[in-house]
Structure formats: structure tokens, C-alpha cells
Amino acid sequence: MKEVTVVLLALLLVPAAYPQGRGGGRGGGRGGAGGRGVAPTPKATAAIDMTGYWVSVVTEDWMFRMVTPPKGQYLGVPLNAAARRVADAWDPAKDEAAGEQCKSYGAAAVMRVPGRLHITWDNDTTLKIETEAGEQTRLFHFGSDAPGSDALKTAQSSPASWQGYSIAEWEQAAVGRGEPRNGDLKVITTKLRPGYLRKNGVPYSENAVVTEWYDRHNDASGVWLVVSTEVKDPQYLTVPFITSTHFKKLPDNAPWKPEACSAR
């Protein structure tokens, strides 16, 4: 009986001495000592691969995007009376004199400006988009926009700029085991300088909030990036202004010809 008891005790002690399975025991888990683990980075958990060169394909609103519309042409934008007064007073020469040629290249509008994009990872937690048009740089900082979060505190303390402060998160779609990740990128941008939704002076204010969803799709013609944009502005818009913009993937050696902002 004594021998049986010794054998049972030995069997009970085996799992503690020799942990089984992934991550078992001290120092055996992903992330090293103490089994605390290290959270994977947004770059490592990307729902879609957005990196590379892309070119805008203008499939809608050609008259507003490929040329500068005449003053007072703001069809399709839900402006209130105050916004229409601002748009009707548009003066590109005045913008040039004030050094504000980039007013139509802010985050609320720059994705609608025809041209190429270059998307890279600035670091493991920040996605960077550079635009040919206007030579703009957008930085998407991954974090939470929940009240009290570090990302939101940083956004609130940041100075206003053309590209504002953008908080990003991956929205993962449900996939089966072993299948590639899928989903989209959601980006919320605040702290914007007042600018234009269209080059002819259609305004958005410093109170504007821009929410974007980036989706990647493949078809027989190539690889596509679709950007759905919602601009909310209680100062100038009666309802959210919503657009959908399409980009096609280019080779990694695609030509890159940045152009300075233009007020006209």
C-alpha cells in the first residue's frame, strides 16, 4: 500500500515539473518570463495589408474632383445656410496670400483628391499614408477612442492641423481556423484645422469629426482599396457627408511625383 501511495504522488507531481501544451509553466508562454505574455502589435495583427502604392480611380463626382468647380457649386454636400455663405465667398487669391493653399487637402477631403498614395508602417503601432497630392502625411495611431483612454487624451491635447489626430483600430471579421485574417480598418480623426470639403471653398470647421473605413478587395482586374468616409460637422453640415473613394494597387516601383498644395 505504501508503494502505491508513492506512485500516485509521483504521477501528481509530473505536470508541475513538466508542463504540457503551448505556453505551459513559468517562462514557457508567449512573451517570456513569468508567463505574463506580450500583446501582439497592430502591425502583427493587421486585418488587411494596406501597404504599398495605390492610385485613385475616379468613378464618381468627376466634375468636383478632376477639376476645380466654380464658386457656388456645392451640389451633393448637405450644407446649412452659414456654410453656403462661406462657400459663396470663396477667394483662392485670399487663401494664397494667407499661406492656406492646403485647405482642400485636410483629412476630411484629401482622400478625394486624385493622385497616388504610399502606405507604410511608421512603427509597430502607427500606419502612415503619404499623398502625392498636396504632399500630405497622415498618421493613424492605433488605440482606443473610449473616454479616458491614453489615445483619446493624446488626441485632445494635440494641436489642430490639416491632418488632425487619427485613432485607428482593426475591425476583425469572423473567420474559421486556419483561414487568413479579414476585416477592415476604422479611423476617427479630430483636431482639424478648418478646411474645404471641395477645392471651391465648401467648408468644414474645426469641430468636424472624420470617420473612415478602409476595405481591401481583390477581383479579376487587380487589388482595390475602398475608403468610406463620413464627415460630421455640427457647425456647417445638416447631416453627415458620406463618400466612397476607390484606389487600385500599383507595383512597388510605381512612379511617385509629389505636388504642392494648390488653392485653384
Residue 93 gets which letter from DSSP?
A: H
Inform me whether the pLDDT recorded for 181 exceeds 90: no
The larger pLDDT score, comparing residue 181 to residue 78, is at 78
- Same domain? 124 vs 180: yes
- The one-letter amino acid at 31: G
Rounded Cα distance, 50 and 249, in Å: 9
- Same domain? 212 vs 108: yes
Q: What is the mean pLDDT of residues 65-69?
A: 97
**β-strand pairing of 183-190 with 202-204:** unpaired
Q: What is the mean pLDDT of the chain?
A: 88
Rounded Cα distance, 103 and 101, in Å: 6
**DSSP helix/strand/coil, 9:** helix
Rounded Cα distance, 263 and 58, in Å: 21
- Same domain? 245 vs 133: yes
Name the residue among 136, 76, 107 with its Cα closest to residue 209.
107
Q: Which distant-in-sequence residues (6+ apart) come within 8 Å of 6 by Cβ?
A: none
Q: What is the pLDDT of residue 175?
A: 59
The larger pLDDT score, comparing residue 178 to residue 141, is at 141
- Same domain? 57 vs 153: yes
**DSSP helix/strand/coil, 59:** coil
Task: Report how many domains make up the chain.
Answer: 2
- Same domain? 216 vs 154: yes
Inform me whether the pLDDT recorded for 28 exceeds 90: no
Q: What is the mean pLDDT of residues 83-108?
A: 98
Q: What is the pLDDT of residue 12?
A: 37
Task: Note whether 120 and 126 are within 8 A (CB).
Answer: no
pTM here is 0.84
Residue 256 lies in a domain: no
Helix (H) or strand (E) holding 169: strand 165-172
Inform me whether the pLDDT recorded for 94 exceeds 70: yes
- Same domain? 6 vs 62: no
Q: Which domain holds residue 242?
A: 52-250
Residue 209 lies in a domain: yes
Confidence of residue 110 (pLDDT cuts 50, 70, 90): very high
Rounded Cα distance, 138 and 211, in Å: 14
| Cell numbers found for residue 52 | 504599398
- Same domain? 27 vs 140: no
First-to-final CA distance of the chain = 96
